[in-house]
Structure 1
Amino acid sequence: MRPFASAPPRRTTDRLPLVLAAVLLLVGGLLLALPDRAGAAADTLISQGRPATSSSVEDSTFGPEKAFDGVSTTRWASTEGVDPQWIKVDLGPSATVSRVKLVWEAAYAKAYRVETSADGTTWTRLATETAGNGGTDDWTGLTGTGRYLRVYGTARGTSYGYSLYTVEVYGTTPTTPPPTGAFTVVAAGDIAAQCTASSSSCAHPKTAALAQRIAPSFYLTMGDNQYDDARLSDFRNYYDKTWGAFKAQTRPVPGNHESYDPAGAFSGYKSYFGAIAYPQGKPYYSYDQGNWHFVALDSNTFDDAAQIQWLKDDLARNTKGCIAAYFHHPLYSSGGHGNDPVSKPVWQILYGARADLVLNGHDHHYERFAPQDPSGRATADGIVEIVGGMGGAEPYDIETVQPNSQKRISGTYGVLKLDLTDTTYTWQYVGTDDQVKDSGPTYTCH
């Protein structure tokens, strides 16, 4: 029944307790006679606190990270009544897997697979269950490698969805124990075209659904949140129907389209987002998460001396070890708009503060750059820039490939999934089909 694991026993708890007690007494005697079995207890837990994603969530309180938080009373739950569903954890590069323990809520899987993958696309099966009955499934004696581990449910045991209190993965990684302060952020720019889910070609409902499935700590946007003139009525008719579902967890910045509102620049943007976009009274602000300092800027007004002085003062006060900034207009881009020199003075300030990461929109494609300085010279202490303008607006072609550009994708809608720890960061560009289109390197903060 389990041909893909080397004789991995499955232990189910809360079933036939009297028989179980007798079996435990017998097994205990056998273990005393077989001291080499003690090695199973030495397996190292490598999944706790690691970044997690899932095919769906019942709602935001049942995100996939709950299955890896080490708390026995929290859980992941998928959408009800739909097969298949999956939950996935990023174990870090070059992980080996020897054991997987699953603790099911009442909504268990009757049939599922445990799989590993090096790239999140091609999967290798470790174990298969075809007659699950819930409780606890403890797969031991596994031999698997890969960055990602996935539990892929193919048949529900109830009319509900799939729900797991705990997914524990044991084995080894090059960086055991797992990093501290880990959290996930979803980011996108250039989002709500004037269309709705009633049109199959409308992309922003799909990117919003994807963003919710990832279930990050929070969401950030890199401008041009609403097309074409970002009126308040447009925000209500389009953006609010999709990305508005997690408005309270969003930290936005404006793009050039927010300035086109006939009622006045940023009028609809400010009326819609309110204090979410103006927490410090201006369309630029900063906040902290873990060991990260985030700076949200308005690139429409980089010629505003007040914003520039605010940025210098803000960075001087920062006490966090990692810095990310985001704004609409990219200094470097291989897309139709190309490089935008308006951002160079801000880059110079950020580079002087040893900032790590800059996120932009404006050009409607995905692109990542190697670390570089404000003059475009590749350097290990440079800033990593990512263009993530595929949130829903019509894609732009790649036109002139810029120096230090490492990867470019056009025509595939998706979001950035940023995985950050107290000392490192990496990311994936995830398409609306839930497939990883690109994975960035893992960088250490300056």
Structure 2
Amino acid sequence: MRLFASAPPRRTTDRLPLVLAAVLLLVGGLLLALPDRAGAAADTLISQGRPATSSSVEDSTFGPEKAFDGNATTRWASAEGVDPQWIKVDLGPSATVSRVKLVWEAAYAKAYRVEISADGSTWTRLATETAGNGATDDWTGLTGTGRYLRVYGTARGTSYGYSLWTVEVYGTTSTTPPPTGAFTVVAAGDIAAQCTASSSSCAHPKTAALAQRIAPSFYLTMGDNQYDDARLSDFRNYYDKTWGAFKAQTRPVPGNHESYDPAGAFSGYKSYFGAIAYPQGKPYYSYDQGNWHFVALDSNTFDDAAQIQWLKDDLARNTKGCVAAYFHHPLYSSGGHGNDPVSKPVWQILYAARADLVLNGHDHHYERFAPQDPNGQATADGIVEIVGGMGGAEPYDIETVQPNSQKRISGTYGVLKLNLTDTTYSWQYVGTDDQVKDSGPTYTCH
């Protein structure tokens, strides 16, 4: 039995007997001449090349974008043996969907839903399959409006995962130009404990491998890159063996542990990263990617007037439409360290400059907050803060849940996968098992 949110859509499958298929082809040809078929003939493919995300991937060669690249020989594949799984496409600010065509690989869904959403959080069902047999499912006669469409698999047809050669979404879109300049960034804080891959409990080799599988444009670190005292010898013995594999693509900031080096505060950090961490001669710097302006700050020295003045001047010069800042100490956190008021003056500057996103570490958990102002008041023009301190250090418990905290995860190591365009941002918290543990909403830059 199939359940529908509106009038039942029509699904065809390429597993029909040849004679029946021939009859349907003949009837379909005759129906094309009828007036009420004119609209269906005008359906336009609106999903090809659009930004895509998924609950998991088998590995980086089977990313969700492969189902929307127009190439019939590439595919998305989820992690094996786990239900449920999903794949989602961003169709643009507003789309009306009339048809969805799914070309399954051998790892198909026995049961799944086709759903649409305006915000990526609340979903409306367009079609439901409860007895899928793979190959091609062509859902026609659909009626749905929204920005995001996803295929949500609830039961696998095999012992493997879910895999789609192609997802084609047909309909119409608004005249608003689609987001451009899309790129991906991986971020994490609190990374290299003094252990190696020879220990099964050592987490930073696993988060490093995950970060490499995602294959982003570049990597961010939010401090406490090396434990416990961030000596140069420790960087070489631990961090360099894992996250050091993509050191040249990393844009780090220091945490409080970098200041503990007996050879001098930040000595090992500065010696290891060199100009990568000090591109402008200071432990704070900025750079651009697409329509994004990134500001990397040293929250150990937020009382340094020179850094504060530099930040004001840097933001005044910025010409990009989206702004992200990252530093170690979070203004708001539900973890063991809790809220850190040292960051409030910086938040006030960022808020006045209409910054969009702040990334932090320090507390060893994952947490996301709704947009808020420096005083912790929820507001649509506020800053979204994410704590991402699960890069490898021992997890901290959630202690006092703060206002505007929307999601908290402790005990699961992973990284942030940031999906950025010229006008929007969203993210996923991905665990070292390649499973998506949380997905943030899609926000439009201020």
Under a length normalisation based on structure 2, what TM-score does the superposition of the two structures give? Answer: 0.73
Distance 1:383 1:119 in 2: 18
CA deviation map 1:363-389 (0-9, x unaligned): 111222233332333333332222111
Counterpart Cα distance in 1 of 2:276 and 2:65: 25
Q: Would the aligned equivalents of 1:50 and 1:182 in 2 still touch at CA under 8 Å?
A: no
CA 1:321–1:79: 2 relative to 1, 3 Å: same
| Shift in CA distance, 117/195, structure 1 to aligned 2, threshold 3 Å | farther
Deviation readout 1:176-203 (Å, 9 max, x if unpaired): 7643333332222112222333433332
Between 320-329 and 244-253, the greater mean CA deviation after superposition: 244-253
After superposition, the Cα gap between the structure-2 partners of 1:24 and 1:113, relative to the gap in structure 1 and judged at 3 Å, is same
Residues 339 and 208 (structure 1 numbering): CA distance in 2 closer, same or farther, change over 3 Å?
A: same
Residue 280 and residue 111 in structure 1: after superposition, are their counterparts in 2 closer, same or farther (change >3 A)? farther
Q: How far apart are residue 304 of structure 1 and its match?
A: 2.4
Name the CA shift for 1:226/1:118 in 2 (closer, same or farther; >3 Å): farther
Q: Deviation of residue 411 (structure 1)?
A: 2.0
Q: Is the 8 A contact 1:114 1:126 kept in 2?
A: yes
Offset at 1:322?
A: 1.7
On the 8 A contact 2:370/2:406 being kept in 1, the answer is yes
Is the contact made by 2:97 and 2:171 (CA closer than 8 Å) also made in structure 1? yes
Q: How many residues align?
A: 446
The answer to whether the 8 Å contact 1:231/1:267 transfers is yes
Deviation at 1:294, TM superposition (A): 1.0
Shift of 1:73: 10
Aligned-pair Cα RMSD in Å: 5.2
Report how far residue 297 of structure 1 moved: 0.8
Take 1:125 and 1:380, find their aligned partners in 2: how far apart are those partners? 28
Deviations along 1:116-144, whole A, 9 cap, x unmatched?
89999999999999999999997766788
How high is the sequence identity, in percent, across the aligned residues? 97
Q: Which moved more, 1:16-25 or 1:83-92?
A: 16-25
Distance 1:111 1:437, change over 3 A: closer
Q: CA distance change for structure 1 residues 35 and 123 in 2, over 3 Å: closer, same or farther?
A: same
What residue number does 1:195 align with? 195
Q: Residue by residue, what CA displacement relative to the aligned partner does 1:397-424 show, whole Å, maximum 9, x if unpaired?
A: 1222333333322222222233333333
Is the CA contact 1:295–1:326 (under 8 Å) kept in the aligned structure 2?
yes
Aligned CA distance change for structure 1 residues 127 and 408 (closer, same or farther; 3 Å): closer
Moved more, 366-375 or 221-230: 366-375
Does the Cα contact within 8 Å between 2:93 and 2:176 map onto a contact in 1?
no
**1:226: how far off?**
1.9
Residues 158-167 or 427-436, more deviating: 158-167
Query: Does the 8 A contact of 2:253 with 2:328 survive in 1?
Result: yes
Cα 1:205–1:344 change in 2 (3 A) is same
Q: Which stretch shifts more, 231-240 or 385-394?
A: 231-240
Distance 1:125 1:331 in 2: 39
Deviations 1:304-325 (A, max 9, x none): 2322222111111001122111
| More off after superposition, 409-418 vs 5-14 | 5-14
Output one character per residue of 1:251-293: Cα deviation in whole Å (capped at 9) or x when no partner.
Answer: 2211112222334333333343333322323221111222221
- Aligned ranges for residues 29-40 of structure 1 at < 5 Å? 30=30, 33-34=33-34, 36-40=36-40
Q: Secondary structure at the match of 1:12?
A: strand
Query: Contact conserved, 1:56 with 1:213, CA < 8 A, in 2?
Result: no
Unaligned runs of 5+ in 1: none
5+ residue gaps, structure 2: none
The answer on whether the counterparts of 2:5 and 2:124 sit within 8 Å (CA) in structure 1 is: no
Per the alignment, do residues 48 and 309 of structure 1 end up closer, same or farther by CA in structure 2, a change over 3 Å counting?
A: farther
- Structure 1 residue 347 displacement after superposition: 1.5
Bigger shift: residues 426-435 or 349-358: 426-435
Q: Is the 8 A contact 1:12 1:135 kept in 2?
A: no
- Give the TM-score taking structure 1 as reference length: 0.73
Q: Secondary structure at the match of 1:33?
A: coil
What is the alpha-carbon distance in structure 1 between the residues aligned to residue 164 and residue 266 of structure 2?
Answer: 44
After TM superposition, the structure 1 stretch with the greater mean CA deviation from structure 2, 151-160 or 86-95, is 151-160
- C-alpha separation between the residues in 1 aligned to 2:207 and 2:334? 23
- CA, structure 1 residues 366+67, in 2 after alignment: closer, same or farther (shift >3 Å)? same
Distance verdict in 2 for CA 1:145–1:409, change over 3 Å? farther
Range moving further from structure 2, 199-208 or 384-393:
199-208
Offset of residue 223 of structure 1: 1.0
Question: What is the SS of the residue equivalent to 2:354?
Answer: coil
Q: Tell which deviates more after alignment, 66-75 or 297-306.
A: 66-75
2:121 aligns to what? 121
Residues in 2 aligned to 1:83 and 1:406: alpha-carbon distance in whole angstroms: 24
In 2, the alpha carbon distance for the partners of 1:126 and 1:379 equals 32
Q: CA deviation at 1:20?
A: 17
Structure 1 pair 403–5 and aligned structure 2 pair: CA distance change class (3 A): closer
Given that residues 226 and 239 in structure 2 are in contact (C-alpha distance below 8 angstroms), is that contact kept between their aligned partners in structure 1? yes
CA distance in 2, matches of 1:281, 1:107: 52
Structure 1 SS opposite 2:165: strand
Confirm or deny: 8 A CA contact 1:44 1:170 kept in the other structure.
yes
Distance in 1 between the 2:79 and 2:138 partners?
25
**Does the Cα contact within 8 Å between 2:426 and 2:442 map onto a contact in 1?**
yes
Deviations 1:47-80 (A, max 9, x none): 3454334688898788554654668999879999
Cα offset for 1:359? 1.0
Once the two structures are TM-superposed, the CA of residue 295 in structure 1 deviates from its matched residue by 0.6
